Amino acid sequence: MRNITVITRLLSNLDSVKADDLEDQDLDFKEWDTRSKNDAIAHVIEMAICMANGGGGTVVFGVRDKVIGRANAILGVPPEIDQNILMKRVYDATDPKITPVFEDLHVPEGTGRLLVMQVYSGMRPYTDTAGQGKIRVGKDCQPLTGTMRRRIMVETGEGDTTADLIPGNADQHVSPSAVEALKKNAAKEQAPKDLLSLQDNDFLVSLGLIIHGQLTNAGLLLIGKEASIQEHLPHYYWIHLRMRDDTEYSDRDEGRDPLIIALSKITDRIMAENPVTTINYGMFHFEYRRYPEVVLREALMNALSHADYRINSPIMVKQYSNRLEISNPGGFVGGITPQNILHHPPVARNPRLVEALTKLRLVNRSNLGISRMFKYMLIEGKAPPIIDQPGDSVKVILKGGELSAPFRAFVEREGQSGRGFEVDHLLILDYLLSHREIDIPGAGALIQRTDTEARDILHKMEHERGYLEHGGSGRSTYWALHPAIYRELEVNGHPYGDRRTEWEAAKMHVLSMLRQQKDSSENSLTNTDIRKITRLDRDQVKRLMRELRDQHPQITYAGNRRSAKYYYRDQ
C-alpha cells in the first residue's frame, strides 16, 4: 500500500504522465462520481472488495486516470463526503466485513480534497452481501469467477493440494533412489550440510514432506514411487517430444517419475541435442550451448513446481530445431501476468512443495529465477524468453539462436571494469540492436517498469554508462544506441552511419514524392501513407515530418490526428 507521502510524490508526475501509467496491483486512481452520491458510494464498495481480494492496496478517489496535466486530472472529492459514513457503508455491504481506512489528501486543484482509501487483505474471498465481487489483477478489477475463487484458495494456502496427506505409512510410498537424487541435487546447490546429513526419514520430516508418519503430496511428487504417484496423483505426468515441425514429432518419451528424477531425464534428453560450441573472439574464449544450462534448469523447475496437479494435463516439453517450448497446466496466480512477471512478488501455487525446494535451494523464493532466465539468454546476445498464458496453462519459449561474440565480449569487458548488467539494461540493449530507437512508454512496457522508472534507467544508460544517446524533446524524446556502442557490437556487420543514412534517405524519399504530387489530384500524404513508404512507425513518422518541415518551409500541414495531411506548396 502507498502512504500519503508516496501518493503526493506520484501526483507530481501528472504533468507528464497519465495517472493510469502510475497504477499498479496495489494502487488505483478513480474519478469521483459527482452525479449520484449513491453511485459514488457503490463504486467505493466495489473498489474495496476488489482491492481486498487482490491482496490489499490503495485507491485514490478524485483523480481522472486517462488525461495528462495535474489541473485536468485532479478534480477532487466533494467536501461534504464523510469518511466515517463511507467506512460504515463499506462495512455493512461486504461479506466478510471489510473495514477500510480513509484519509484526506489536500491539493490545490479541483475541490482541494482527494480521498485515499487503504484496504487491507484478510480472509479472502470477499463479496458484497448479494454474493458479487471483483478481484484486483494487475491494474484491472476482474469478476470474481469460480476460477478466480480457486486461485484465491491457492494463494492463501487453502487450495494447496501438495500439503494433503497420503494414506498409509510414508515408507511404502518413498523411493530411496529419489531421496538420494534429491540430496545430490541439493548438495550441488550448496544446501545446508546439517540438513543433508540427516537420516532419510528425519530429512523428509524436516522438509515438511512427512507429517505424523504420513507422506504429503509434495513428498510424493518429489521422491515418491511411480506406482504411488499414479494411484494418488493420476493427473501428473511429463512428455518430451522432439518435433519435426508443428504437427509431427520424431521421438517421444514420457513418465510419471518423481519430479527430481523427471528433471534429470528431461534435461538429459534436451542436452543430447544441445552440444557445447566454442568460439574464440579476440582475447576471449567462449563456450556456449544453444540453451544455457542455467536457463533450462530454471524453466523446468518453474514448470514442475508451479503446475496445477489437479488438471489432467502433462508437463509438456517440445524441442524444435530452433526453439524449445516448456508448458505446465495451471495459469498464473496472485496477479502475476506475462506483462509483470519480471518484478512481481513471487506467489506459490504449491506452497508445501515450493517450501521444501526452497530449503534445498533448488528454487528461489525471491523471484530471481525468471530474471536469471532472461539474463543468461540476453548476455549471449540471444532473444529473451517468451512467457505466455494460453488458456489455463503457462508456456515458456526459448529461442535457440547462436551466440553473439561481439555482444558477449562487450558484456565481459564491462563486467571486468565493475559495470555489471541488470536485466533492464540487457533488454533495452537487445531491443536497440534491432530497432532504431525506443521511447519511454516503449521502454516501460519492455522492462515491465513504470514510465518514471523507465525514464530514470534510460537517463542512467545515457549519462552514467554512455550506452545511449537521445533525441527529440518532451513527450517525443527517444533514445538510440550511441554510435561507439553500435560500432563496437558490429551489428549485422553494418556501421552506425547506415542508420543515419536510412533516416535521411527516408526524408528525401518523402520530400520527392510530395514534390511530384503537388500538382496532381492526390497532392498530399497521410501518416499512414508515409509509414508504408518508409516502414517507420506512427511516432517516427511524426518526428521525421517535423524535421522535414523545419528544413523545407514549403511543406504544410492540415487537419488533425488521423485526418492530418502533408502538402508541398511552392513559395
Per-residue HEC secondary structure of 146-211 comes to: HHHHHHHHHHCCCCCHHHCECCCCHHHCECHHHHHHHHHHHHHCCCCHHHHCCCHHHHHHHCCCEE
- Could you tell me the three cell numbers for 320? 524444435
Contact in structure between 151 and 333 (CB atoms under 8 Å): yes
Gap between the Cα atoms of 314 and 469, Å rounded: 48
Using CB atoms within 10 Å of the CB of residue 4, give its burial: 0 to 12 exposed, 13 to 18 middle, 19+ buried.
Answer: middle
- Count the residues in the chain: 571
* Terminal Cα distance for the chain, rounded: 60
- All domains in the chain, ordered by first residue: 4-144 (3.30.950.30), 161-232 (no CATH), 239-350+360-399 (3.30.565.60), 422-493 (1.10.10.10), 497-568 (1.10.10)
pLDDT computed for residue 457 by the predictor:
96
Contact in structure between 52 and 26 (CB atoms under 8 Å): no
Contact in structure between 313 and 329 (CB atoms under 8 Å): yes
pTM over 0.85: no
pLDDT computed for residue 159 by the predictor:
60
- Could you tell me the three cell numbers for 451? 514510465
pLDDT in tens, 265-298: 999 999 999 988 888 888 888 888 999 999 999 9
Chain centroid to CA 518 = 48
Q: What are phi and psi of 162, to 5 degrees?
A: -75, -10
pLDDT computed for residue 494 by the predictor:
41
Report cis status (omega within 30 of 0) of the bond before 329: no
Count Cβ atoms below 10 Å from residue 108 Cβ, excluding itself: 8
pLDDT computed for residue 425 by the predictor:
96
3 state SS for 499-526: HHHHHHHHHHHHHHHHHHHCCCCCCEEE
User: What DSSP assignment string belongs to 450-485?
Assistant: -HHHHHHHHHHHHHTS--EEEES-GGG-EEEE-HHH
Contact in structure between 345 and 339 (CB atoms under 8 Å): no
pLDDT computed for residue 495 by the predictor:
39
Contact in structure between 216 and 163 (CB atoms under 8 Å): yes
The SS3 assignment for 372 reads helix
Contact in structure between 169 and 201 (CB atoms under 8 Å): no
Contact in structure between 514 and 568 (CB atoms under 8 Å): yes
In the chain, which stretches have pLDDT less than 50? 492-497
pLDDT computed for residue 227 by the predictor:
95
| Nearest residue to 131 via CA among 153, 147, 149 | 149
| Nearest residue to 119 via CA among 106, 101, 103, 132 | 101
Contact in structure between 566 and 545 (CB atoms under 8 Å): yes
pLDDT computed for residue 104 by the predictor:
96
| Nearest residue to 91 via CA among 137, 135, 41, 37 | 41
